[in-house]
């Protein structure tokens, strides 16, 4: 791929169609733009960073890039974990964070329309104020809605409510050639041709740039309760999950956590977790419209947990207690990162729910076998696990071959268990090889054909998801 380098003439033109104080080049470019949350996957300097403020600007930028064969990397908050929003081929980095308007919260149709750069936490706040509910709940609340859509972010509540894809209903998209199109809309059903919005969801900015997004909302459940359940052993803990899911008591979330990760979080947050009795916990939440409705459900689950070896069941039915436990859960990633400043690598596989125990135990074995500290936590209720290999005090020479071997074995194991490479973080550039191995050549050929249909010159976020066509 022979891309054109960005020249001063390009920069002058890009300023002429945007504004001088939103175009950065050379030393003006903040180091943050060279990486996402995983600096371990390399640092790459874009040639120019532009903060767009409208779909029309994005369109004009793409027209220029297309005509001049300049690669463009769209970017939201840069909170990704696979190197999806880094400019590995240089060129233009197109930041959408200034496109942060909530365009409409339509209470009649229960739909919200936002610019792509609206932060998840801002959107949650706005819909909650109107008594509405946007169910997707990825841990990183400072991510943009655009980023969530582009990785099909999942989060805690997938067990009951599904993932981002299930809520996206429409989009305004700028194509690689600068054309603007709208797809879907405020409609609940749609069988009008291949679903472009579903190709865009999870495409990590490689097929088009979503500048506006319409999502479905629900009425806000009136009550929520969490259960914190310590178990005697990790096995008992994990193996209780399928029993919970088979009961008719649909929890909103089912997370598992281990003592050692909790301790990292306690240190990170500077506050104590409310229980110290066990090495392995399930954390469940339930929501509904009345205390009675939820009580019946969580009582049943509490009894079930106790019958499967739970040591106790702590009920958090106040907002304060609820938040105390979930803030610990929410701090896991940062806490683990903090515990291994020399570096780490992560894996985000998803397996069928009844294979979670197998995968968790497999990782514990890898920990012993390679002498690398492995921390894991995740969404036991939906089979999506986050596993972190910590470099700690290992030298680069020790670390590199070990982590490569561990990652390969984890992905192989996920495939063996009929799982997938990524549950919610995506592929970026870091996982392209693992994706290719897991899905095989016929599927990669089709993905590459789809990429070509959208972006024949391969200028939109090249090298991510697929790396050629």
Q: Which of residues 45-84 bind a second copy (CB under 8 A)?
A: none
Single residue of 1, 20, 67, 218 touching a second copy by CB under 8 A: 218
Q: What is the rounded CA–CA span in Å between residue 133 and residue 137?
A: 11
Spatial strand order in the sheet of 92-95: 23-25, 48-51, 92-95, 72-75
φ, ψ at 280 (rounded to 5°): -140, 130
Applying CB under 8 A, among 1, 67, 446, 468 the residue interacting with a second copy is 446
Q: Find the shortest distance in angstroms from Cβ 276 to a second copy.
A: 31
Please identify which residue in 116, 427, 459, 460 interacts with a second copy, judged by CB under 8 A.
427
Kindly indicate which of the ranges 19-27, 38-46, 192-200, 311-319 contains the residues binding a second copy, using the contact rule CB under 8 A: 192-200
The answer to whether 326 and 316 have CB atoms below 8 angstroms apart is no
Q: How far is CA 162 from CA 43, 133, 154, 426, in A?
A: 34, 13, 7, 17
Judge contact between 24 and 52, C-beta under 8 A.
no
Pick the binder of a second copy from 65, 92, 111, 284 (CB under 8 A).
111
Q: Give, as ranges, the residues between 248 and 287 that touch a second copy (CB under 8 A).
A: 248, 250
The sign of the dihedral angle between the CA atoms of 187, 191, 196, 202 is: positive
Contact 367, 374 (CB under 8 A): yes
Interaction between residue 165 and a second copy (CB under 8 A): yes
Select 157 or 391, whichever has its Cβ closest to a second copy.
157
Structure tokens at 280: 């392995």
- Residue with the two structure tokens 């240190």: 267
Nearest distance in Å: CB 262, a second copy: 24
| Residues binding a second copy: number (CB under 8 A) | 93
Q: Report the site for a second copy in 229-248 (rule: CB under 8 A).
A: 242, 245-248
Min separation Cβ 216 and a second copy, Å: 9
| 8 Å CB contact between 425 and 82 | yes
Q: How far is the CB of 322 from a second copy (least distance, A)?
A: 20
Minimal distance, residue 78 CB to a second copy, in Å: 17
DSSP 463: T
- Which C-beta is closer to a second copy: that of 128 or that of 393? 128
Q: Which stretch binds a second copy (CB under 8 A): 32-40, 55-63, 224-232, 381-389?
A: 381-389
Among 31, 189, 319, 368, binds a second copy (CB under 8 A): 189
Residue selected from 59, 152, 367, 376 as contacting a second copy according to rule CB under 8 A: 152
With a CB cutoff of 8 Å and minimum separation 6, the contacts of 416 are: none
Give 91 or 383: the residue with its C-beta nearer to a second copy.
383
Q: What is the Cα–Cα distance from 137 to 118, expressed in whole angstroms?
A: 15
Binding mask 283-322 for a second copy (x = CB under 8 A): ------xx-xx--xx-------------------------
Q: Which of 108, 320, 396, 397 binds a second copy (CB under 8 A)?
A: 108
Tell the smallest beta-carbon distance from residue 439 to a second copy (Å): 7
Query: Are 98 and 118 in contact, with CB atoms under 8 Å apart?
Result: no
Judged by CB under 8 A, does residue 153 bind a second copy? yes
Pattern 334-363, a second copy, x by CB under 8 A = --------------x-xxxxx---------
- What DSSP string runs through 304-362? HHHHTTBS--EEE-SHHHHHHHHHHHHTHHHHHHHH-TT-EEEE--B--GGGHHHHHHH
Tokens of 41: 């996957």
List binders of a second copy among 131-150 (CB under 8 A): 131
**Which position among 61, 92, 149, 159 is part of the footprint of a second copy (CB under 8 A)?**
159
- Count of C-beta atoms within a 10 Å radius of residue 129: 10
**Among residues 163, 253, 282, 347, the one that binds a second copy under rule CB under 8 A:** 163
CB distance 209 to 62 below 8 Å: yes
Q: Are 58 and 94 in contact (CB under 8 A)?
A: yes
> Which lies closer to a second copy via its Cβ, residue 337 or residue 451?
451
Cα–Cα dist 448/450, whole Å:
5
Closest to a second copy by CB, 293 or 398: 293
Site membership for a second copy, residue 171 (CB under 8 A): no
Q: Does 219 bind a second copy (CB under 8 A)?
A: yes
């Amino acid at each position: 791929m022979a891309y054109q380098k960005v020249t001063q003439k390009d920069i002058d033109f890009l300023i002429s169609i945007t504004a001088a104080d939103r175009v950065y080049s050379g030393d003006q470019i903040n180091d943050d733009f060279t990486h996402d949350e995983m600096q371990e996957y390399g640092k790459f300097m874009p040639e120019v960073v532009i903060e767009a403020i409208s779909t029309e600007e994005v369109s004009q930028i793409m027209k220029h890039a297309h005509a001049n064969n300049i690669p463009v990397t769209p970017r939201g908050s840069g909170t990704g974990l696979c190197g999806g929003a880094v400019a590995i081929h240089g060129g233009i980095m197109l930041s959408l964070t200034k496109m942060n308007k909530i365009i409409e919260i339509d209470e009649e149709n229960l739909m919200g329309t936002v610019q792509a750069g609206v932060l998840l936490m801002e959107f949650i706040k706005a819909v909650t104020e109107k008594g509405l509910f946007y169910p997707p709940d990825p841990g990183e609340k400072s991510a943009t809605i655009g980023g969530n859509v582009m990785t099909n972010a999942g989060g805690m509540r997938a067990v009951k409510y599904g993932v981002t894809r299930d809520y996206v209903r429409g989009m305004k998209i700028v194509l690689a050639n600068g054309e603007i199109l709208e797809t879907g809309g405020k409609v609940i059903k749609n069988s009008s041709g291949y679903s472009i919005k579903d190709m865009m969801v999870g495409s990590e900015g490689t097929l088009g740039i979503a500048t506006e997004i319409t999502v479905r909302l629900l009425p806000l459940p009136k009550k929520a309760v969490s259960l914190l359940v310590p178990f005697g052993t990790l096995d008992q803990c994990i193996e209780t999950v399928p029993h919970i899911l088979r009961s008719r008591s649909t929890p909103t979330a089912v997370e598992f956590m281990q003592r050692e990760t909790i301790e990292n979080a306690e240190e990170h947050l500077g506050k104590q977790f409310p229980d110290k009795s066990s090495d392995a916990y399930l954390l469940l939440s339930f929501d509904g419209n009345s205390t009675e409705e939820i009580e019946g459900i969580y009582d049943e689950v509490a009894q079930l947990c106790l019958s499967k070896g739970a040591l106790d069941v702590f009920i958090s039915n106040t907002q304060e207690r609820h938040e105390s436990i979930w803030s610990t859960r929410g701090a896991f990633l940062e806490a683990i990162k903090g515990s291994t400043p020399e570096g780490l690598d992560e894996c985000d596989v998803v397996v069928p729910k009844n294979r979670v125990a197998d995968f968790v135990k497999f990782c514990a074995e890898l920990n012993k076998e390679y002498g690398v500290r492995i921390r894991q936590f995740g969404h036991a209720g939906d089979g999506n696990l986050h596993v972190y290999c910590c470099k700690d005090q290992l030298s680069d020479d020790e670390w590199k071959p070990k982590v490569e071997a561990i990652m390969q074995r984890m992905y192989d194991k996920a495939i063996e268990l009929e799982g997938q490479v990524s549950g919610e973080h995506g592929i970026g550039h870091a996982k392209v090889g693992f994706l290719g191995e897991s899905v095989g050549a016929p599927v990669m050929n089709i993905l590459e054909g789809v990429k070509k249909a959208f972006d024949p010159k391969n200028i939109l976020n090249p090298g991510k998801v697929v790396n050629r066509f």
